[in-house]
Structure 1
Amino acid sequence: MVFAKLNYSQHYEDVHDSLMVLLEENFKRVEGGLQCDSYVWVWLDDTKVAVDTFTALSHEVKSSERGKHVDAVIAVLKKEFSVEVYSEPEIEPHE
């Protein structure tokens, strides 16, 4: 499910590094990469929050379930980015 999207004027490739740094400074386990798309995975216990561009031209915040893990990632992102939080999560095409 998609819970939020980041709003910025740059191309997502230009945002990727600063996004990685921000999340790595605030969470213990962060993985990511830039391969045609940008992805960052934040692991909180065994739950993953993805911040990626797999289905959009800017980063979206995604998780398989709603919860504090999603809220924690969004709160950190709001420190440096304009974040549009959806009132209801959007379903991804593969869900």
Structure 2
Amino acid sequence: MFKHQIMITGLQRSWKIHHVSHQHGEESWVVGLLTSRGVYSIIALGIGNGGFYRLRKSGVKTYYVPVEMVAENLEPLGKAVEMFLNNLLEEALDQRKLD
């Protein structure tokens, strides 16, 4: 059976939940925390160069919330999780920084 492990801030449901706060320059700590907890995939609005490549090297896949959802100020969390569970999010191929 496939087990979803999803990083969601402040939500307690049936998934394994991980809250990670990020500050610039601490990518290796965040990646270490995620991999130590058995996280295989993350859903992100954006991610910097260092974090993206460290996650990728560690085998953690990154999926981006579609830019349209972010640009329209929609509440993307629930919709992004639903899209992830239905295999509708594309895996990130490169970093993405949002202004």
User: Does TM, scored on the shorter chain, surpass 0.5?
Assistant: no
TM-score of the two chains, using structure 1 as the length reference: 0.31
TM-score of the two chains, using structure 2 as the length reference: 0.30
Larger Rg over CA atoms: 2
Higher strand share: 1
Higher helix share: 2
